Amino acid sequence: MTIKKVLQYGEKSLREPSKEVHKVSKKIQELVQDLLDTMYAKNGVGMAAPQIGVQYRVFVVDVSKNDEPLNPMVFINPKIIKKSGAIVAQEGCISFPEAYTDVKRYKDIMVKAIDRHGRSFVLEAKDGCLLSRAIQHEYDHLDGILFIDHCVNRFETDEILAKHNLPPVEPDMLIDDPKQDEELNK
């Protein structure tokens, strides 16, 4: 299909919530392929529709390593139905070129979604693996939440963003999750 222009942090539409998909139509199939093509072209592990300016609840993930065959996963209308544990790990985002910071995520998640063929599925990702973190990262995009909203240190993150000529963290968007903090302090 097509490699799309990726919106950069600061674009207002990255903060807007996405709409549910009512039918896995030809248009949605094309969107999925565009997301995959763009993600692979940018060497990403995930890409959400809002990152290319499309406000639908669709994202793709592929956590295969260099020596493994591609393993694209498609999530339409995803819902995280279970989450537990907590982990701190460094993350980046295609919408934040070259900027990486430590963020808090759940270790274990269970997600329910629809695949590119319109079939419902449930997937579990455990132990803070890349798949678990990537799903949470892309899922957030669908609600206008960005990875920096989960940052461990806002001021350090601001310095990193400034180095890459990106706007600072929006303090009112920072995620306060006492349950996650409690897990991290165990």
Residue pLDDT, tens place only, 119-164? 999 999 999 899 999 999 999 999 999 999 999 999 999 999 999 9
The fraction of the chain above a pLDDT of 70, given in percent, is 99
**The pLDDT of residue 24 is above 80:** yes
**The pLDDT of residue 67 is above 90:** no
What does pTM read for this prediction?
Answer: 0.96
User: Domain ranges in the chain?
Assistant: 12-184
Q: Which of 16, 138, 170, 182 is catalytic?
A: 138
Q: What is the pLDDT of residue 1?
A: 63
Q: What is the pLDDT of residue 109?
A: 97
Mean pLDDT, rounded, for 80-97: 96
**Going by C-beta distance under 8 Å and a sequence separation of 6 or more, which residues neighbour residue 9?**
93, 95, 96, 146, 148, 161, 166, 167
Q: What is the pLDDT of residue 66?
A: 82
The answer to whether 127 and 148 have CB atoms below 8 angstroms apart is no
Give exposure, 94-124, as e/b (b: 16+ Cβ within 10 Å): bbbeebebebbbbbbbbbebbebeeeeeebe
Calpha distance 97→164 (Å, rounded): 8
Q: What is the pLDDT of residue 186?
A: 79
Calpha distance 151→51 (Å, rounded): 20
Q: Please report, to the nearest 10 degrees, the dihedral formed by the alpha carbons of residues 65, 69, 70, 76 taken in order.
A: -100
The answer to whether 121 and 127 have CB atoms below 8 angstroms apart is no
Beta sheet of 46-48, edge-to-edge order: 46-48, 58-61, 73-84, 108-114, 120-125
Q: What is the pLDDT of residue 147?
A: 98
Mean pLDDT, the chain, whole residue set: 96
Give the chain's count of helices (H) and strands (E).
4, 7
CATH topology assigned to domain 12-184: Peptide Deformylase (3.90.45)
pLDDT per position as a tens digit, 33-52: 999 999 999 999 999 999 99
Q: Does residue 68 carry a catalytic annotation?
A: no
